[in-house]
Amino acid sequence: MDEFSLIRHYFSRLTPAAADVALGIGDDCALLNVAPGHQLAVTTDTLVGGRHFPLQTKAGDVGWKSLAVNLSDLAAMGAQARWVTLALTLPDADQEWLQAFSSGFHALLQASQVALVGGDTTRGPLSITVTAMGVVPVGKAVRRSGARVGDLVCVTGTLGDAALALRLLDAPDLPPSLRERLDRPQPRLAAGLALREFAHAAIDLSDGLAGDLPHVLEASGVGAVVEAQLLPQSYEFARHASTGERLQLQAQGGDDYELCVCLPPDCLELAQSRLEVPLTVIGRIVDAPGLRFVDANGANIPLESHGYRHFQ
């Protein structure tokens, strides 16, 4: 199968007819219609086999996740996800792998009503680069730089599930719900759209709270105090994580793909009522720079506060 029949067979059908796709896969460029009064939000992320996902990960999950991590960035900005391109580098044209990969990719495209409008296909070590594009009314995007002293720090969903799944990967009793959180993260697109009405600042959690929240704090010129025991846990997480490892998994584990937002306190209830996922207060924005984790008595809990860094 050559490059062109591969693209036709696995990817061309993933462009649905949509009013805002004037031209999809097949020409030198796609042509996309951005509605007047809107800005284009663009993000790109690469997943390298063996680095961002274990090489034994099912192809369908790789397809899903390579899209999910990008849509999560759009969600954090409060953008409505519309289009993606896919640059695929494959060691060989393994039909079974491609079928499963494109199915996983397609499943999330459909669930989030996003169109694949182009890409590139090359041979080499397994690597997947997705560029995701969304639209947001001018001036409505939620940036990292808007947090203010007194804001509540909140997160969607639960933290630590994917990190626990990764640690228990080869355990025979790894609960499927934890595995699902690692392999098929749900980008919080609807929550991102709802929260843009209220949030002063937001970021999606890919490298763990302790790695990601400091980006918001630095961009906003503020600090935060987070109470460790407020970090939301899933039922399976609480059952399977030992007390000693909980904070480490929840704050430094990574791969959560939840949103972390800074909200004025008087917006909390209304914001919560507009979301389909739980929104939990975990701390507050303060004047003193840096991120502090504290226990219920306000005593510091020391933590190495950086996420995964590729060139360190």
Residues that bind ligand ADP in the complex, under the rule CB under 6 A: 7, 11, 25-28, 86, 88, 116, 118-121
CB nearer to ligand ADP: give 12 or 300.
12
279 binds, among Mg ion, ligand ADP, none (CB under 5 to 8 A by kind): none
Q: Does 3 engage in binding with Mg ion (CB under 5 A)?
A: no
Of the pair 103, 248, the CB lying nearest ligand ADP is at 103
Select from 3, 94, 120, 197 the one that contacts Mg ion (CB under 5 A). 120
Q: Which is nearer to Mg ion, 119 or 185 (CB)?
A: 119
Q: How far apart are the first and last CA of the chain?
A: 40
CB of 2 to Mg ion, least distance (A): 13
Q: Find all residues with CB under 8 Å of 43, minimum gap 6, and list them.
A: 70, 73, 74, 131, 132
The bridge status of strand 31-32 relative to strand 21-23 is antiparallel
Question: What is the nearest approach in angstroms of ligand ADP to the Cβ of residue 91?
Answer: 15
- Measure the CA–CA gap between 220 and 67, rounded to whole angstroms: 29
The residue count of the chain comes to 312
Query: What is the amino acid identity at position 198?
Result: F
- Residue facing Mg ion at closest CB distance: 120
Q: What are phi and psi of 31, to 5 degrees?
A: -120, 125
Asked whether 164 and 50 are in contact (CB, 8 A), the reply is: no
Out of ligand ADP, Mg ion, none, which partner does residue 232 contact, by CB within 5 to 8 A per kind?
A: none
Closer residue to Mg ion, CB minimum distance, 4 or 235: 4
Binding-site partner at residue 86 among Mg ion, ligand ADP, none, CB < 5 to 8 Å by type: ligand ADP
Q: 64 or 293: whose CB is closer to ligand ADP?
A: 64
Identity of the residue, 85 or 305, whose beta carbon is nearer to ligand ADP in the bound complex: 85
- Gap between the Cα atoms of 18 and 27, Å rounded: 17
- Nearest distance from C-beta of residue 202 to ligand ADP, angstroms: 29
Q: In the bound complex, what is the minimum distance in angstroms from residue 121's beta carbon to ligand ADP?
A: 4
* Residue with smaller CB distance to Mg ion, 44 or 305: 44
How many CB atoms within 10 Å of residue 262?
A: 29
The binder of 153, among Mg ion, ligand ADP, none, by C-beta within 5 to 8 A per type, is none
Residue 304's Cβ-count burial label (10 Å; 0-12, 13-18, 19+) is exposed
DSSP three-state, residue 121: strand
Beta carbon of residue 98, minimum distance to Mg ion (angstroms, whole number): 17
Task: List the single partner that 176 binds among ligand ADP, Mg ion, none, CB under 5 to 8 Å by kind.
Answer: none
Strands 223-227, 290-294: pairing is parallel
Q: Which does 26 bind (CB under 5 to 8 A by kind): Mg ion, ligand ADP, none?
A: ligand ADP
Of the candidates 120, 134, 289, which has an alpha carbon nearest to the alpha carbon of residue 221?
Answer: 289
Stretch that binds Mg ion, among 30-38, 68-76, 115-123, 140-148 (CB under 5 A): 115-123
Q: How far apart are CA 307 and CA 272, in angstroms?
A: 28
CB of 97 to ligand ADP, least distance (A): 13
Give the strands of the sheet with 223-227, arranged side by side: 201-204, 259-263, 152-156, 279-286, 223-227, 290-294, 300-301
Shortest distance (Å) from residue 30 CB to ligand ADP:
7
Contact positions toward Mg ion, by CB under 5 A? 120
